[in-house]
Amino acid sequence: MIPSRIIEKKREGGELGTEELKTIFGGFLDGEVPDYQMAALLMAIHYQGMGPGELNTLLDLMIHSGAVLDLSHLPGPRVDKHSTGGVGDKTSLILAPLAAELGLYVPMMSGRGLGHTAGTLDKLEAIPGFRTMLSLDEFRSVLEDVGVAMMGQTQEIAPLDRRLYALRDATATVPSIPLIAASILSKKLAEGIQGLILDVKCGSGSFLPESERTRELAVTMTTLANGRGVRTAALLTGMDAPLGRAVGNGLETREALECLAGKGPQDLADLSAALTGEMLFLGGLAETPGEGTRRARQALGEGRGISRMARLVERQGGDPRVVTDPSLIPSAPEQDVITADIAGFVKEVRPVPLGYGVVEMGGGRRRMSDEVDPRVGFLLAVRPGERVEKGDPLGEVHAANPDGLDRGRRVLREAVVLDSEAPPPPPPLIRERVPALG
Ligand code: URA
């Protein structure tokens, strides 16, 4: 089969068969199909989409391009969560130990930040000593001992996704529903899980800002995963403002630990409890998502995830004292409070400028090889809809040097939009639930 003929077929809206998909994607992984041909195919898929059969075959090829964990020896249900990415989203650090405390096994493989969104691995690495690059044997062993293990995707898991993702990032073909669905699920289904909750973000700070496409992505992923026997549901959640008050890796880790101790901001605690509740339900440990959420909320309020988090941190090489004393996470040398220069209502706290602001201050990546400074970021003092008087604090900037502080000041002023009129009440954080059978 000739790759250019396969690309042509997709370009014209045709449906690729199993052999055609194997030839071109398998050839790409083996180095026989060059990047330029794969880039052309990805663009054709971006415009023409994929049918359910094609998508299933692509997902198979991606999962089986690497190792698939067998964790069937564990004595409890194995459930994970995945978020499509947002600003200030630190729920993984809260729900993973909490769900383990409530009886689940959570084998979580996470990513790093790219673009305006941050990644769980960077947040965990803000804890002095914490190692996220584990071998699969170490990962299994932490999971068996603690009930939760958190690591980065290794070379062994879904290598085809790794190569495709790098090419998509460089060729503007990331925001394609079938390609996102196959990419996310290839990694998650290789974890050997039985249940999965997807937090699919919608709104200005998400990957796919239009709500119809967000819903389509959620339905595509839940249908695919349930079809493979992994009980999967999705929550469509708002990302029009950062989640919680902290943006920036170390600040977010501190906030997550405070939330685990029952002292987190309400939106963060609510979403973490809802996602944990869904995990309990999908793992068969709660009769309904609502019952799971009530148990998770109570456990969170009682600080029951704390000791599990301390065990996880210690087992993965980190300093467990930070869990009860988050102030041990290194803080930035330059800090300033930005105040309102007029009285009014907070119309918007825009996530995208804040996310890119962290990158500009050295706390995120322009390319995958960049080092991040976990100390920099923002601590917001206001939320959309709140009233402020002139001189009231809007938030703090945390920077590595005076230059970064100046940038951060400009970013925070641009991100917090004040208006003389009270804005309409914001929509609920959880917009919709896509249930386990699509
Ligand atoms: N996250 C992924 O892992 N893959 C995508 O394609 C988009 C977001």
Is 112's pLDDT higher than 90? no
In sign, the C-alpha dihedral spanning 307, 312, 317, 323 is negative
How many whole angstroms separate alpha carbon 391 and alpha carbon 340? 5
pLDDT at 329 over 90: yes
- Range of weakest confidence among 164-178, 239-253, 320-334, 369-383: 164-178
pLDDT score of 426: 86
Q: Mean pLDDT in the chain?
A: 95
Question: Residue of the nearest CA to atom 6 in ligand 1?
Answer: 180
Q: Which residues line ligand 1 (CB under 6 A)?
A: 84, 111, 165, 174, 179-180, 183-184
Query: Looking at ligand 1, which atom is closest to the CA of residue 183?
Result: 4
Is the pLDDT confidence value at 352 over 50? yes
Q: For residue 42, what are the β-bridge partners?
A: none
Max distance between CA atoms of the chain, in angstroms, equals 69
Reply yes or no on whether 81 is catalytic: yes
Give, using CA atoms, the residue closest to atom 3 of ligand 1.
184
Q: What is the pLDDT of residue 438?
A: 44
Name the token pair of 389. 């008087």
What is the token pair recorded at 269? 């605690």
Mean pLDDT for 212-224 is 94
Split at pLDDT 50, 70, 90, the class of 437 is: confident
pLDDT-above-90 percentage for the chain: 88
In which residue are the tokens 């799971």 written? 292
| pLDDT at residue 206 tops 50 | yes
80 is catalytic: yes
Residue 183 among the catalytic residues: yes
Q: What DSSP designation does 127 have?
A: S
For ligand 1, mutation pick of 163, 180, 189, 368 (most atoms within 8 Å of CB): 180
Contact 107, 80 (CB under 8 A): yes
The answer to whether 395 touches 201, Cβ cutoff 8 Å, is no
Candidate of 183, 206, 213, 217 to mutate for ligand 1, largest count of ligand atoms within 8 Å of Cβ = 183
CA atoms 246, 250, 256, 261: torsion sign:
negative
Residue 77 has pLDDT above 50, yes or no: yes
Chain center to CA of 145 = 25
pLDDT at 170: 86
Ligand 1 center to 176 CA (angstroms)? 10
| Whether residue 161 has pLDDT greater than 90 | yes
pLDDT at position 211 is 72
pLDDT band at 150 (very low <50, low <70, confident <90, very high): very high
Q: How far is CA 102 from the centre of its chain?
A: 22
Q: Which of 10, 46, 78, 82 is catalytic?
A: 82
Q: Has 82 been annotated as catalytic?
A: yes
Could you tell me the pTM of the whole model?
0.95
Q: What is the pLDDT of residue 207?
A: 76
CA of 321 to the centre of ligand 1 (A): 33
Question: So what's the pLDDT on residue 92?
Answer: 98
Question: Pseudo-torsion of CA 278, 187, 207, 417, nearest 10°?
Answer: 60
What tokens were used for 174? 């990331």
pLDDT digits (tens, 9 = 90+) for 306-320: 999 999 999 999 999
The answer on pLDDT for 110 being more than 80 is: yes
User: Highest-confidence range of 101-105, 107-111, 432-436, by mean pLDDT?
Assistant: 101-105
